[in-house]
Amino acid sequence: MEILKFTEEHKQYRERLRAFFAKEVLPHVDQWEKEHAIPKSIWNKIGKAGFLCAGVPKEYGGWGGDFLHSIIASEEIVKTNHYGLIIFLHSEVCAPYISAFASEELKKKYLPGCVSGDIVLGVAMTEPNAGSDLAALATTAVEDGDQIVLNGAKIFTSNGINGDLFIVAAKDPEIENPYQAVSLYLVEPTTPGFQIGQKLEKMGFHSQDTVELFFSDCRIPKNNIIGEKGKGFYYLMNKLQQERLVCALAGMSQAEFILDETLKHYKKIKSNGSLPKIRQSKQHTIVDMATEVKVTKTFLYTLIKDHIDGKDIVTETSMGKFWASEMVRRVADASFEIFGLEGALEKNRIERAWRDCRGISIFAGTNQIMREIIAKRMDL
């Protein structure tokens, strides 16, 4: 069953990417996880190798890739079993805001560096009291001549330590309608009044540099706004379909990784004769896991095709996002049962995957929000 039309060039791209990860990423993942950080240099390496921002047009430093290249990159990085180098956040969540809505000046200034890896992107939306409800943002943006003055705080910002440029959502406090008050701005971390807080220690995603950000009379040029003033909420809604698809794909890809690891373990204990008597039960569990992964992948690939074709699939994407992010947790739990206590050891790759997959259900809007969207569009 071929849903997405991967060309021979796409297949070669996947092989080159796997080879790159095998050489430059996989040998270091365990150390990065222990250190709770990845080196900034890896971003430059992956950019120079041509694996970032496939969708950026050639006139802004892009290399002529398409969304299928992005899908391949997202799948393969997840299967390295760590989230420190989340290239899909950089390439498919952050960069599209710039390439789709920013001014020519900002595109020419920043996009070439995003492609090369010289600029690492982060997105600063979530606040202590505003997560999925973006209308509750408290960070303010006030015009003062040819500058914008930012005040407020963000939390759970990925790529916070390595980031060179952040997309910051803030609102004009004088506009009452919260959906018309939000704008998006580009802020460099060296800007006076912008402070990066300490790295947050998390249950999973150990090598991801997640931080708090603080803005205290942080002054940026007025032309650092992305698109038009007051259109931030519209821009966010416009790009959330792709962001949620990428999150769903991450869940599915991680479930594929967990399934592969589980199959290797099962075949190993089967071949050495140490398979427990409850063999049939384990077989059925693995069959259930494989079925969930296959059904989810088929659905998501259909959604990706529809997304490429420009279809309105907000309802289906919301379904895919909550389903895939909960499916991977079911698969991880089932795998844990098959591994037994061995699965709880830090050296076991399943242990890390089990920890990491829990957060996917929160990204790009919690799964409760996904259900709210679906219910509204079903006129319930």
**For residue 61, is pLDDT > 90?**
yes
Question: Residues 241, 367: one domain?
Answer: yes
Is 105 assigned a catalytic role?
A: no
Question: Residues 304, 196: one domain?
Answer: no
Question: Residues 240, 293: one domain?
Answer: yes
Residues whose CB is less than 8 angstroms from the CB of residue 155 and which lie 6 or more positions away in sequence, other chains included: 126, 127, 128, 200, 212, 213
H or E segment to which residue 122 belongs: strand 121-124
Question: Residues 129, 81: one domain?
Answer: no
The structure tokens listed for 369 are 């929000």
Q: Exactly one of 243, 256, 261, 316 is catalytic; which is it?
A: 243
pLDDT band at 34 (very low <50, low <70, confident <90, very high): very high
Question: Residues 221, 238: one domain?
Answer: no
Question: Residues 66, 191: one domain?
Answer: no
End of a domain among 229, 250, 278? 229
Domain span including residue 82: 8-119
In a domain, 152, yes or no: yes
Higher pLDDT, 380 or 2: 380
Question: Residues 275, 193: one domain?
Answer: no
Question: Residues 109, 148: one domain?
Answer: no
> In this prediction, what percent of the chain has a pLDDT beyond 90?
81
> In this prediction, what percent of the chain has a pLDDT beyond 70?
98
Report pTM. 0.92
End of a domain among 95, 119, 143? 119
| CB distance 140 to 150 below 8 Å | yes
| CB distance 136 to 130 below 8 Å | yes
What are the pLDDT digits (tens) for 215-266?
999 999 999 999 999 999 999 888 988 999 999 999 999 999 999 999 998 8
- CATH number for the domain spanning 184: value is 2.40.110.10
Question: Residues 370, 335: one domain?
Answer: yes
In a domain, 138, yes or no: yes
One-letter amino acid at 110 equals: Y
| Separation of CA 24 from chain center | 20
What are the pLDDT digits (tens) for 174-196?
998 988 999 999 999 999 999 99
Question: Residues 114, 177: one domain?
Answer: no
Total tally of structural domains belonging to the chain:
3
Please compute the mean of the pLDDT values over residues 198-206 and round it to a whole number. 89
End of a domain among 173, 199, 229? 229
In a domain, 34, yes or no: yes
pLDDT band at 26 (very low <50, low <70, confident <90, very high): very high
Bridge partners (DSSP) listed for residue 225? 185
- CATH number for the domain spanning 114: value is 1.10.540.10
Question: Residues 253, 313: one domain?
Answer: yes
Residues whose CB is less than 8 angstroms from the CB of residue 33 and which lie 6 or more positions away in sequence, other chains included: 82, 84, 206, 207, 352
Of 126, 133, 118, nearest to 200 (Cα)?
126
